[in-house]
Amino acid sequence: MVLHLWLRAGNTVSASRAVDFIRETLNNKPQWLNISDVRADSGFFSGKIFDFLEELSIPYTIVARATSVVRESVMGITDWTETLSGIEIGETLYRAQEWKKARRVVAVRQLLVERPHGTGQTVSRMPRIPLSDVCDHETRQRAGRVAALQQASDMKTE
């Protein structure tokens, strides 16, 4: 089901007017439809979007932009938990300069020997790669869902 969409010029910055888009979507949704959470790609990785969703108490999972600062933050994770064979999750707090507060970042890393078709960024200094980052404000339980979604995605490509 497509709830709402905007067609924009190809040279538009992905996060521009994203809060307006989300607000318009929520204001125009059918009354019977409840929004349980928001999932979005890295184009929505913005403190303004996080602030807006948190003000409305809407849980979110948004893929982090793989900037050098985010990657360095993830590199500092020392406590990794295996969720599936060859997949581990870890978490850290990250605060971009323009953000009002730090947010929880959950990283998913895969052992290429066990998961040769794993998706995400290859990080040469990490013993297990590739790596995917997700920013959210939920509990660790959501990270398990991320790993399960990754497994489902892997099954599609096999």
pLDDT (tens digit per residue) in 6-21 = 777 777 776 778 899 8
Question: What total of structural domains would you count in the chain?
Answer: 1
Output the pLDDT for position 30. 92
- Examine residue 20 and state whether it is found in any structural domain, yes or no: no
- Examine residue 27 and state whether it is found in any structural domain, yes or no: no
Single-letter code of the amino acid located at 16: S
Q: Which residues pair with 82 in a beta bridge?
A: 88
- Examine residue 60 and state whether it is found in any structural domain, yes or no: yes
Mean pLDDT of the chain: 78
Half-sphere exposure of 141 (CA within 13 A, CB side): 3
The tens digit of pLDDT for each residue in 14-53 reads: 677 889 989 999 999 999 999 888 888 888 899 999 999 9
- Examine residue 11 and state whether it is found in any structural domain, yes or no: no
Residue 14's contacts (CB-CB under 8 Å, 6 or more residues apart) are 42, 43, 44
- Examine residue 110 and state whether it is found in any structural domain, yes or no: yes
- Examine residue 41 and state whether it is found in any structural domain, yes or no: yes
Residue 38's contacts (CB-CB under 8 Å, 6 or more residues apart) are 22, 53, 58, 59, 60, 61, 62
* Residue ranges making up the domain that contains 86: 37-157
- Examine residue 9 and state whether it is found in any structural domain, yes or no: no
- Examine residue 21 and state whether it is found in any structural domain, yes or no: no
